[in-house]
Chains A and B, each alone.
Chain A
Amino acid sequence: MGVPPVSAWLALGVLLFAAPLVPGVAARTKAIFAGRRGAPVWQLYADLWKLAQRGIVYSTAITWVFRLAPVALVATTITAAALLPLDGHGGLIAFSGDAVAFVCLLALGRFALVLAALDTGSSFEGMGASRDATFATLIEPGLFIALAALAIAADSYSLTSMLGARSAAGTADAPALVLIAASIFALMLAECARVPVDDPATHLELTMVHEVMILDHSGPDLAMVLYAQALKLATFAAIILGVLLPPRSSGGWVAPFALLASLVFIGVAVGIVESVMARLRLPRVPLFIAAGGSVALFGLILVLR
C-alpha cells in the first residue's frame, strides 16, 4: 500500500475537528423542537476548552487504570476513525478485515472506560458500568451483522470497499443498504448513549448509564471522554454516509463537505429522535437493540438473496 493521499488526511482532520459539532447540532435541534433558542452549536468546543484548562481531581482509591482510560478511549476512537475511507478512496489504515478491527477498537475503548468506572470503587459507577457492558454485548453482534452484510454487498472484507469505492453492480442492493443504514443508525443511538437507550441530559441516578461511568472524571480527563463520545457519533455519521452515498466519483475535494453535511444531518436526526420519543425503560432497551440488529439481519438476508 502506498502513501495515503493528502485528501485522506484532510478528511480525517475535518472529522476530528468537526466531531464536537454533532452533539451541539443535536442539542440545538432539541431546543428548537422545545421552542427554546438553545445553546450555540459550538457549545461543546467551549466546554472542552474550559475543561482542558482545569486541574484534575483524582480519588485516593484509583490506580493507573483510571488515569489510562480517557487516553485509551480517545486513542482507540481516533484509530477507528482512521480505518474509515473518509475521502472515498481509502482509509489511512486499510487491510482486509479492518471492519472487525473497527468494532473491536470501539469495544476496547469501552472496555477501558468500564474498567476505569470499576476502578473508582464506587458501587454506583459499577452499576453504570454493568449496564453499559450489557448493552455493548447486544450492540456488537448487530454491528457485526450490519458490517457482514456490507462486506457481502461489496465482496470485500475491507471498510475501504464496503463504504468507499463500491462498484456500480452494488446498486441492485439499494433496499438492503437502506435497511443496513437504518440499523446502523439505531445501533449508533445505543452505542453512543443517545436517547432511546440513554439520555445524555439526565442526571437522575436511576436512569443514568454512560453518565454514571464518567462521574469521577474531571478536567482534561473529562474533556477527553466527552470528545471521544462526540467523535464516536461523528464516526458513525461517516459510516452511514458511506453506506448511503459512497463518495465514489466525487473526488477528494468534495468529500470533506459531504462529511460535514452528514455530521450535521446525523446531528439533526439524533436531535429529532430525542425530541419525539422518550427514553425507553431499562428492560425495554435490549428489545430496541435486538430490533436494530434484526433490521441488519434482514439487510443481510436481502444481500445474500
Chain B
Amino acid sequence: MTPLAELVLLAIVFTDFAVLGTSRLSSCIRAIALQGLLLGSLPLLLHAELNPRLVVLAVSTVLIKGFALPASLRWAIREAAVRREVEPLIGYLASILLGAAALAVAFSVAGVLPLPSLPTDLLVPVSLVTVMIGLLVLITRAKALLQVVGYLMLENGIYLFGLTQAERAPFLVEVGVLLDVFAGVFIMGIVVFHINREFDSISADRLRELRD
C-alpha cells in the first residue's frame, strides 16, 4: 500500500506547484480540486485495515474538498465575473523557486521532528511543504479568490499532518475541521462576491480603502 501512497503524496506536491505556476484562476481551482481528491484517497491508502471511520473520513474529504469547495469557488468566479488571470505580486518564476526552497526546508526540517512512528516518512515533509506553499500563495497573490485557495492549501497541509495521527485523533475533530473549512470557504466565496460588487475588483490591495 505504501508505494501507492508515496506516489499520491508526490502528486500532491505537484498540485502545490501547479497552483504556484499557473496563470489562470480556473487552473488553480482545478489543481486544488485534484489535491482534494488525492487527499481523500490517502487515509485509505495509508492504513492497511479499513475501518468505517476511515472510509467516512475519505468519502467526506473527497466530497467536500474535491467537489463542493471547488464548485463554490467556480461559482464565485462566475458570479463575480472577475478577470481570469492570477496577477501575482511576485513573478511565477520567483514563486516556483520559492516553492522549491520551501520544499528543501520542509524535507530538512521533517527529518529532525521527533514524531512517533509514521506510515511513510514522506507524509510530514509533504504536509509541511503544502502548508508553506499555502502561506506563499496567501502572501503573494492579490486576488481574494486565490487567497481562499491559499487558505485551502494551508488547511490541506494541516489535514495531512493530522493523518500522521489518524489513529489517535478523534474522528469528530476531523469532521469538525472539514465542516469549519467548508463553512469558511462558503462565506469567503460570498464575501469575495460582495467585495467585487462594491469595488469592481477582488484585489485585496484595494481593501485598505475600507475605512469608515
Contact = CB atoms under 8 A, between A and B. Distances in A.
Nearest to B21: A291
Contact of B10 (A179, A287, A290): A179
Given A286-B93, A301-B104, A301-B107, A294 B121 contact: no
Given A290-B97, A297-B103, A298-B13, A305 B6 contact: no
Interface string A265-297: 000000000000000000010110011001001
A28 B163 CA distance: 48
A175 interface: yes
Given A175-B6, A301-B107, A290 B96 contact: yes
Nearest to B106: A301
Interface in B2-22: 3, 6-7, 10, 13, 17, 21
A145 to B, nearest CB: 10
A290 B99 contact: no
Interface size class of B (residues with CB under 8 A): 10 to 19
B7 A175 contact: yes
Which residue of B103, B111, B121 has the most chain A CB atoms within 10 A of its CB atom?
B103
B182 interface: no
Interface size class of A (residues with CB under 8 A): 10 to 19
B17 A291 contact: yes
Contact of B104 (A174, A287, A297): A297
B104 A305 contact: no
B111 A305 contact: yes
Contacts of A284: 92
Contacts of B7: 175
Contacts of A174: 3
A287 B103 contact: no
Contacts of A291: 17, 21, 96
Contacts of B111: 305
Contacts of B93: 286-287, 290
Dominant SS at the A interface?
helix
A157 to B, nearest CB: 22
B98 to A, nearest CB: 10
B100 interface: yes
A298 B103 contact: yes
B21 A287 contact: yes
Given A175-B7, A179-B10, A298-B13, A287 B96 contact: yes
B96 A305 contact: no
A236 B164 CA distance: 40
B96 A175 contact: no
A179 B7 CA distance: 10
Contacts of A297: 100, 103-104
Contacts of B121: 305
A14 B23 CA distance: 43
Nearest to A138: B93
Interface of B: 3, 6-7, 10, 13, 17, 21, 92-93, 96-97, 99-100, 103-104, 107, 111, 121
30 contacts: A174-B3, A175-B3, A175-B6, A175-B7, A175-B10, A284-B92, A287-B21, A287-B92, A287-B93, A287-B96, A290-B93, A290-B96, A291-B21, A294-B17, A294-B96, A294-B99, A294-B100, A294-B103, A297-B100, A297-B103, A297-B104, A298-B10, A298-B13, A298-B100, A301-B103, A301-B104, A301-B107, A304-B107, A305-B107, A305-B121
